[in-house]
Amino acid sequence: MLLLSIFVASFSVASASDFQREFDLTWGDQRAQILNGGELLTLTLDKASGSGFRSKREYLFGRIDMQIKLVAGNSAGTVTAFYLSSEGPNHDEIDFEFLGNLSGDPYIVHTNVYCQGKGDREQQFYLWFDPTENFHTYSIVWNQQRIIFLVDNIPIRVFNNEESIGVPFPKNQPMRIYSSLWDADNWATRGGLVKTDWSKAPFKAYYRNFNANACTWSNAESNCASQMLNSARNNVWRTQALDASGRRRLRWVQRYFMVYNYCADLKRFPQGRPRECRHSREISTPQNFGVPRSTSTSPCQGSVIDTWFSGPMEGYLDIYMYPRSFVVATAELAVAVFFLSL
């Protein structure tokens, strides 16, 4: 037994947090720094440049977790990106992008999935906490069947493998982990209306507790080829899907915090929505988008929220945007009710 566990351990794909060992600082000179013996990484943006880092390893499927504390104060115009990407013209990519805002105004979490060079699958969310006050965990689960985006272990988005109906799915190209902090004030905040205030520079984001339970790729081979690994404990991600509680959480996020969903943007797809939007049950469709359904599967079943907001929200169906006041008013209530209902 001991021998066996030593053997399994030697094949372990998990890599704990040592930024020095796992990442290269790729741009921004001294603006990217690894501190505290590899435990903490900081990125800085000033008027001259942003900064970024990249994983030394390449991965083909896995679960990647990173704790991030985003740029505090007036972060309008800044974007902090955390993503997986392959190389080359027909690259695959799985994105988290955090769009900054004026002090007190909410960040937007922008997500996207690229396959063979084509993205256009954006979903955006507000968060149910202030991401600049503390570290929070942002995770990507990537297996053969689906991609799950999680925030503090709460699923905010699922992109299913729907190759059976002709939707490409990233599964052949190994990816590295990337992160960067840069100026994007031509689009990031309120669509580019709010510009970066350079008098507040330098802007800083913080990273810690990186973890990868993943198959690494080197010399054209995955280290997961070994069957041994299939029995290892840390391989939950390989078949991870949403259970009932996961689906309830996802619905809660999509109902109260979703800002934009490409699947609901009919103006953008006059020829018909992308195929994955027609089939997916996990993704809100225009029929229900923005309108809380008072069904028995609601995470806030019987709560005041369902009845209170089913009326006022209907008016916003056309623009698929929640007004700021609505989000602020409901966010705290929704959080309270949600956590009580778990």
Ligand X SMILES: *[C@@H]1O[C@H](CO)[C@@H](O)[C@H](O)[C@H]1NC(C)=O
Binding stretches for ligand X (CB under 6 A): 99, 101, 105-106, 108, 189-190, 324
CA pair distance 96, 4, nearest whole angstrom: 38
Closest CA to 91 of 58, 54, 116, 59: 116
Nearer to ligand X, 158 or 259 (CB): 259
Nearer to ligand X, 101 or 196 (CB): 101
Nearer to ligand X, 101 or 330 (CB): 101
Amino acid letter, residue 288: N
Of 22, 58, 97, 122, catalytic: 97
* Closest approach of ligand X to the CB of residue 99, in Å: 4
Nearer to ligand X, 187 or 308 (CB): 187
CA pair distance 22, 210, nearest whole angstrom: 9
Amino acid letter, residue 14: A
Asked if 97 is an active-site residue, the reply is: yes
Cβ pair 50, 43 in contact under 8 A: yes
Provide the edge-to-edge strand list for the sheet that holds 78-85. Answer: 23-27, 51-55, 176-183, 78-85, 93-99, 108-114, 123-125, 258-261
Nearer to ligand X, 275 or 324 (CB): 324
Nearer to ligand X, 105 or 265 (CB): 105
Cβ pair 213, 63 in contact under 8 A: yes
* Closest approach of ligand X to the CB of residue 61, in Å: 31
**CB burial readout 16-47, b (16+ within 10 A) else e:** ebebeebbebeebeebbbbeeeeebbbbbbee
Cβ pair 189, 76 in contact under 8 A: yes
Q: Which residue is listed with tokens 């992160």?
A: 179
* Closest approach of ligand X to the CB of residue 129, in Å: 15
CA pair distance 34, 252, nearest whole angstrom: 36
Asked if 276 is an active-site residue, the reply is: no
Nearer to ligand X, 75 or 235 (CB): 75
Of 93, 122, 162, 282, catalytic: 93
3-class state of residue 207 by DSSP: strand
* Residue ranges with strand state E in the chain: 14-15, 23-27, 32-35, 40-45, 51-55, 58-69, 78-85, 93-99, 108-114, 123-125, 136-142, 146-151, 154-160, 176-183, 203-218, 221-222, 258-261
CA pair distance 36, 153, nearest whole angstrom: 26
* Closest approach of ligand X to the CB of residue 106, in Å: 5
* Closest approach of ligand X to the CB of residue 297, in Å: 28
* Residues annotated catalytic, as ranges: 93, 97
